[in-house]
Structure 1
Amino acid sequence: MKTTHIRLTIATVLLLGIYSCKKGEATTSDYEVSTSADSAVLNTSDSVSSVATMSVKDKQFIKTANVDMEVKDVYDATISIEKSVQELGGFVTHSNLQSRVVSEDTYNTSNEEAMLVKKYQTENTLQVRVPTAKLGELLTLINDKKLFLNSRIINAEDVTSSIKYAEMEGQRIKKTSENISELKTTKDKVKMSDENMSEENQQKLANLDVTDNLKYSTVDLFIKEPKLRIAEIAVTNSKNIDNKYKFNFIYDAKNAFVEGFYLIQKILVGLVAIWPIIIIAGIAFYFYRKNKSNKKSIQAHEE
């Protein structure tokens, strides 16, 4: 069994050697991107998928990766990953490090002091771009930081046909431009020329995007810590301070006396403002009493 394993290993090495010797470089006029891997990529750890280092003759691949994992310390892992990306010739396009607070409680330790206890979990969402030839090496470095890998997705999109189609579209746009230039100068010619130029610019922009995506691979990462952290922050005992200034008898009694005096003034001013109503009410009451007295006199006379 051991002899068979050795033979298979030797055969595999020979096949890889033959494949490496025969491996060519697929280029086009618009996309001068090499697909040959350097020695660092060839020595990539077995923990990295072959998709990250795949190279096929006459094929062009846009490679992307998505990693979700748990690390011991998010901040340290973030600094290490960002440094590794820069050393590999890449760059960071997004980094959102934040602490998600799960609970927050304040415990009074004395009349003046208290302790704020926060339970939180730190996480970070990153997006980095690294030369495609270095993708496997970067994923190996990232893998070394993990405590637990939740998921890892690596994509290699074959865009060879799209590149060929883009070349044909470029030739068509060029031929259309030549045909338009032979027409007589009219408003229609100007409009056609403008539309063709706009289409040409859009095609150039698409070509630049594809070239950039072929040269640099995009890696999206989500890292977090597996357990909650606890932060103890010394603060002031706010409850005791509130009780200290919550009620002042002398001050409040003085204010109540002044407010009562102002209330009497407001009542008097209000009565003055409604003097017509008071006079009318007084006259009505006078006639009412007078009428009531007359009725009593008549009743007494009849009896």
Structure 2
Amino acid sequence: MRNLKIISLSLLFLFIHSCSEYSESGESMETAAEESKIPVSSTAATYQDEERQFVRTADVSMEVKNVYNSTMRIESKLAQIGGFVTNSQLESRILSKENFAVSQDSAMEVKKYRVSNQMSMRIPQKELGNFLNSLGEEIEFLHYRNITVDDVSLNFVLSELENNRLNSTHDKLENIQNKNGEIQDNQDVVNNMDRNKSEINQKKVATMKLKDEVAYSSLTLGISEKEKISETLIINPKTYEDKFRPSFWYRAGISVQDGFYFFQSILVAALYIWPLWLIGILFFFFLRTQIKKSV
């Protein structure tokens, strides 16, 4: 009776312990699932300052359930906020391919593949944070999210100062050119004005490019899905090869013919070195004559 009580208590303890482990395991799985859904946005993507200008770039890599469907939804959201795609490379990469015979005439082609898409896009800078957050609806697993913010406020100040300097130089060159006398025809002044005008144009384009980079943030987005398997019923390649395989007598005839051609090639090669044969024969007779004389 005492042994029975001990056994019962032991079983009860094991049951409680196993339930506790199962509960902890379930909690850890839920925690892991929550941790995998890392917030995609950041204050780096949303911070605004009227006195500063920022160039923002983001790089995101994530796993989704279906690459094609996610691509369509992402592009639709992007268009709604005034953004646009500059590059999109959607592809299915075959990891392995095997054929398994099902019958004499057919086989099953089994392909393991992974679909991915590498995208580049431009997003209005005030919408970057919201757009990154919207990507969370597609994420099955986040590989990484990198955001870079460059403060280019001083770049605009420098650009304005350079423009003023170049414009001042241009005005001075025009005044020199308009003076009467030989200087008006001086080729050096004309060349300097051309170079100065070219620098002004380049500086304008650089400023426009910088303003565009501030207004529209750049995002590089890589999305992929888990490996998938495709099964396709095809003609059995082995049967197809056997169907058009030449007969034995045909292959035997070809072998005899090829052997004859090979023998001809040997004879032609032997005739090609006929001077060596001639020298060898002459040396043989010379040696034979010398042996007879010595005897």
Under a length normalisation based on structure 2, what TM-score does the superposition of the two structures give? 0.70
CA–CA distance in structure 1, aligned partners of residues 266 and 63 of structure 2: 72
> What's 2:139 paired with?
146
- 8 A Cα contact 2:125 2:214, kept in partner: yes
CA–CA distance in structure 2, aligned partners of residues 189 and 264 of structure 1: 85
> What's 1:26 paired with?
none
Give 2:174's match in structure 1, choosing from 173, 176, 181.
181
* Partner amino acid, structure 2, of 1:187: Q
Decide which structure has the larger Cα Rg and report it. 1
CA–CA distance in structure 1, aligned partners of residues 161 and 266 of structure 2: 93
Secondary structure at the counterpart of residue 182 of structure 1: helix
Q: Deviations over 1:242-268 (max 9, x none)?
A: 233334034345556777899999999
Q: Deviations over 1:181-217 (max 9, x none)?
A: 1223311101111111111111011011011111111
Gaps of 5+ in 1: 1-45, 296-303
CA–CA distance in structure 2, aligned partners of residues 61 and 269 of structure 1: 80
CA–CA distance in structure 2, aligned partners of residues 260 and 111 of structure 1: 36
Percent identity of paired positions between Structure 1 and Structure 2 = 36
> What's 2:78 paired with?
85
CA–CA distance in structure 2, aligned partners of residues 259 and 215 of structure 1: 74
Runs of 4+ in structure 1 displaced over 4 angstroms? 253-270
* Residue 106 of structure 2 corresponds to residue 109 of structure 1: no
CA–CA distance in structure 2, aligned partners of residues 264 and 63 of structure 1: 76
Distance 1:193 1:125, change over 3 A: same
* Residue 215 of structure 2 corresponds to residue 215 of structure 1: yes
CA–CA distance in structure 2, aligned partners of residues 165 and 209 of structure 1: 15
CA–CA distance in structure 2, aligned partners of residues 172 and 247 of structure 1: 85
Give 1:171's match in structure 2, choosing from 164, 168, 173.
164
- 8 A Cα contact 2:40 2:135, kept in partner: no
> Which structure shows the bigger proportion of residues in helix conformation?
2
Distance 1:120 1:263, change over 3 A: closer
Gaps of 5+ in 2: 1-38, 177-182
TM-superposed CA distance for 1:169, in Å, is 0.4
* Partner amino acid, structure 2, of 1:74: V
CA–CA distance in structure 1, aligned partners of residues 44 and 244 of structure 2: 69
TM-superposed CA distance for 1:81, in Å, is 0.7
CA–CA distance in structure 2, aligned partners of residues 194 and 220 of structure 1: 40
Distance 1:182 1:260, change over 3 A: closer
Q: Deviations over 1:113-157 (max 9, x none)?
A: 111111122211111111112112211211221011121122221
Two-structure CA RMSD over aligned residues (Å) = 3.6
TM-superposed CA distance for 1:47, in Å, is 5.9
Secondary structure at the counterpart of residue 96 of structure 2: strand
CA–CA distance in structure 2, aligned partners of residues 195 and 140 of structure 1: 48
Structure-to-structure mapping, 1:41-120, within 5 angstroms: 48-120=41-113
CA–CA distance in structure 1, aligned partners of residues 90 and 81 of structure 2: 22
Distance 1:194 1:260, change over 3 A: closer
Give 1:158's match in structure 2, choosing from 141, 151, 167.
151
CA–CA distance in structure 1, aligned partners of residues 89 and 233 of structure 2: 27
Shifted more, 46-55 versus 163-172: the winner is: 46-55
Shifted more, 169-178 versus 240-249: the winner is: 240-249
Under a length normalisation based on structure 1, what TM-score does the superposition of the two structures give? 0.69
CA–CA distance in structure 2, aligned partners of residues 228 and 198 of structure 1: 54
Shifted more, 252-261 versus 99-108: the winner is: 252-261
- 8 A Cα contact 2:119 2:222, kept in partner: yes
